[in-house]
Amino acid sequence: MNPFSPDITLTRIAPTPSGFLHIGNILSFVITHSIAQKHQAKIMLRIDDLDQGRLREEYLDDIFDCLDFLEIPVDLGPKNKTEFRQEYSQIHRFPLYAEAINQLKANDLLYACDCSRKKINAQSNKGSYPQICRTKSLPLEAENVNWRLKTDNTAEIQIIEENQPFKSILPAQITDFVIRKKDKSPSYQLASLVDDIHFGTNIIIRGKDLYDSTLAQLYLSELIPANSFHSTNFHHHDLVKAPSGRKLSKSEGASSIKTMRESGQTKQAIYRQLGQYMGFQDPIGNLTEFIQAYHSKK
Ligand SMILES: [Zn+2]
């Protein structure tokens, strides 16, 4: 079902339709574009709508509107909401997620965990899971349980970062990470990995904050049916912070592109702001200028 040529270098941008896109999302898209160009990679739009409860029509519309308004092209993936619903929604890939989960289950790599977040936080530091349920043998088919992976945090993981292979291990923070959530839907780690394998993504560009997820996904890729995820070329870019030093995210109050547009900001004004976040010397006004400035700064 892979719709693309296996020979292309493919990366993706993967927004979630659970809010209006903000300047931090756009920054990640244009950084992806800059790095993709260096690798002559095609870019796929992959909208991660796994969390159907938080999905809203206007958030889906907003993704296409923003890409359009800011003239950020994508090579592959849905061109509009109809195409997205018909062909690309993660709903269509639930059988693939189930197949991967069943394989892990058949190999006795999963266990049920009924811990609340509160309980986990009380017994661990930095949110890592202290394996409370690993030896409890709760039935997997019980209601309201997470399915966790029995991880081996001493196992070597090979990762390719910017063409350079090196070895790592699974960090403590993602010990026994969740594979299937309490609502029976696949976890982000599982779905993202299965999607990347399905579409043949072979370069993944993401912020350094997702480095642990990369290790989790590489680890997981060795436990599901044969795939070439281990040969993915990763690029973890620096995180850009607001002038206040805070993270550029919705929860930190970053403005949505929608709000900026409604207050009369032009495309050029938004790019100028992106350039300021990046610390570019000269003002920029479009994607091409962003890409040029990104590479000349390096
Ligand atoms: Zn537990």
Express each pLDDT in 53-88 by its tens digit: 999 999 999 999 999 999 999 999 999 999 999 999
Q: Look up the CATH number of domain 109-199+218-230.
A: 3.40.50.620
**What distance in angstroms lies between residue 157's CA and the mean position of ligand 1's atoms?**
25
**What distance in angstroms lies between residue 113's CA and the mean position of ligand 1's atoms?**
4
**What distance in angstroms lies between residue 117's CA and the mean position of ligand 1's atoms?**
9
pLDDT in tens, 264-273: 999 999 999 9
**What distance in angstroms lies between residue 172's CA and the mean position of ligand 1's atoms?**
16
**What distance in angstroms lies between residue 35's CA and the mean position of ligand 1's atoms?**
40
Report in angstroms the alpha-carbon separations of 8 from 42, 191, 227. 7, 22, 16
Average pLDDT score, the chain = 92
25 contacts 59 by C-beta, under 8 angstroms: no
Report in angstroms the alpha-carbon separations of 199 from 10, 81, 192, 211, 214. 9, 19, 11, 21, 17
Q: Look up the CATH number of domain 10-92+239-297.
A: 3.40.50.620
Q: Where in the chain are the domains?
A: 10-92+239-297, 109-199+218-230
**What distance in angstroms lies between residue 116's CA and the mean position of ligand 1's atoms?**
7
Cα(294)–Cα(291) distance, integer angstroms: 5
pLDDT in tens, 241-290: 776 666 676 655 568 999 999 999 999 999 999 999 999 999 999 999 99
Cα(98)–Cα(104) distance, integer angstroms: 10
pLDDT in tens, 104-163: 999 999 999 999 988 888 888 777 899 999 999 999 999 999 999 999 999 999 999 999
pLDDT-based confidence at residue 1 (cuts at 50, 70, 90): very low
**What distance in angstroms lies between residue 154's CA and the mean position of ligand 1's atoms?**
21
**What distance in angstroms lies between residue 149's CA and the mean position of ligand 1's atoms?**
12
pLDDT-based confidence at residue 27 (cuts at 50, 70, 90): very high
> Residue 142's CB: how many other CB atoms inside 10 A?
9
Decide whether 10-92+239-297 matches 109-199+218-230 in CATH topology. yes
Length reported for the chain:
298
